[in-house]
Structure 1
């Protein structure tokens, strides 16, 4: 299932997103750096089948959405996500942030608790603060060897259709954001998920987030690397559906 492609104007710019399902509970997936809504096909199938309404936007400057040349900060992206939800008339939503997309999802939940019924952070980036860029870059190199061969060129094509300035600018700006500090202000139920083979996101970072978020739950997906949402979609989305069944409803 690919989800229905739709277009919307948010903050004066054209935005593409995909949508599937029609349940009362809305789930918004925030893509990882440089990835478009086309990459999250497993989310449409798994979440819509579970009776949830799922939306995945192309973030500003990525995919087919217009955006600033040098990308947005984490805080700006969080405000943009809020505007995106507002333009669609969404109230409280469950937010799934993947990789770097976890940082603006966390920021939104912390800044606007009334708009987040639940939060899922899949392979969340952002730590440790010292040598963060070096560790992420070296982890990315290691991760390439752990991903399915078919995934690597597909991701490369996504990155190539994004300007290098938007990609690099967004990455550098995200490195200045401290998600561990943001975590202290999150009040909604939160699921933290990591692939056990992820060389970018370390177990101690998830444990740090678990300690700082009052209602946090940690799960690990065996055999999953950084792209666990693509490599182990059945296991990952089964965790998400079960979590939202318990924590994502009024």
Structure 2
């Protein structure tokens, strides 16, 4: 999508400037809000967001303290980020949205869906990190290091400056909070239609067999898709396939592999109750 199709919009939350990248509105379609992971900015989500232009209006914020948005007085934890995201929706005038999170962005999206389910029409959880599979903290650090070797080197051009700006101590503190987040409880208790998308090469996710077990525990509102060949940052590495999955799910049509996306990526449906 051409760069001119997007507008950088600056809004104020509690006196601080927050950046929101915005595409054109689409009549009759609920806006999609993309929620980035810890220590990184919304730039990492743009490859997928650009491919969803025309499906709905896409909003890609840099959450407070991330990317080009101003720092707040302290680093916000997951519940506080969910609260700030809801405030942002109020400022932007969106009563209901589709939330599309990646990594820690899934925890923020789940927290908002838990506290204010009336604000969330649907929920897309891409590589939903956090909770028992990422415990203890040393295990999570090892998983994160393994994932770094599996991601596209091209991502470093945006990720490294974001990490340096956020700061290593802030990143470690928030990552530790993410490992303690009650992801499973929020995951199984979600009250809105939700789609979980995981990559077969993501070391921060349970193996597909365990995901299938979780699928059987989830109620009928939760759907699961496995993208073969993807690691954790699927929004950046497999944007075409992910956008195709999201479009299909939002439209209520069967999710199948996108023949226009070359490579080894395939979409598999995991059995659920």
| TM surpasses 0.5 | yes
In structure 2, the partner of 1:31 is 36
> Does 2:236 match 1:230?
yes
Query: Contact conserved, 1:10 with 1:83, CA < 8 A, in 2?
Result: yes
> Deviation at 1:31?
0.4
Task: After TM superposition, list the pairs within 5 Å mapping 1:166-205 onto structure 2.
Answer: 166-203=170-207, 204=210
Separation of aligned partners in 2, 1:77 and 1:18? 18
Take 1:107 and 1:214, find their aligned partners in 2: how far apart are those partners? Answer: 20
1:180-199 CA-to-partner distances (Å, cap 9, x unmatched) read 11224311111000111111
Partners in 2 of 1:68 and 1:206 — Cα distance?
40
Q: 1:238 to 1:79 in 2, by over 3 A?
A: same
Partner Cα separation in structure 2 for residue 82 and residue 137 of structure 1: 30
CA change 1:130–1:224 in 2 (3 A) is: closer
Out of 6, 9, 12, the position equivalent to 2:9 is 6
Aligned to 1:218: 224
Alignment of 1:144-163 (within 5 A): 144-163=148-167
TM-score for the superposition, normalised by structure 2: 0.83
Provide structure 2 residue ranges, at least 5 long, that are not aligned to the other structure. Answer: 254-273
Going from structure 1 to structure 2, the CA distance change for 1:163 and 1:210 (only over 3 Å counts) comes to farther
Cα drift, residue 102 of structure 1: 0.4
> Would you say how many aligned residue pairs link Structure 1 and Structure 2?
246
Residues 128 and 205 in structure 1, CA contact (< 8 A), matched pair in contact too: no
Provide the rounded CA distance (Å) in 2 between the counterparts of 1:84 and 1:213: 30
Shift of 1:129: 6.0
Q: How does 1:62-211 map to 2 (within 5 A)?
A: 62-68=66-72, 70-128=74-132, 131-203=135-207, 204=210, 207-208=213-214, 211=217
* Moved segments of 4+, more than 3 Å: none
Q: Aligned match of 1:241 in 233, 247, 272?
A: 247
1:18 and 2:21 matched? yes
- Give the alignment of 1:51-70 within 5 angstroms: 52-68=56-72, 70=74
TM-score, structure 1 as length reference: 0.90
Structure exhibiting the larger radius of gyration computed from Cα positions: 2
Gaps of 5+ in 1: none
Q: 1:48 aligns with which of 49, 53, 63?
A: 53
- Do the aligned residues in 2 keep the contact of 1:43 with 1:54 (CA within 8 Å)? no
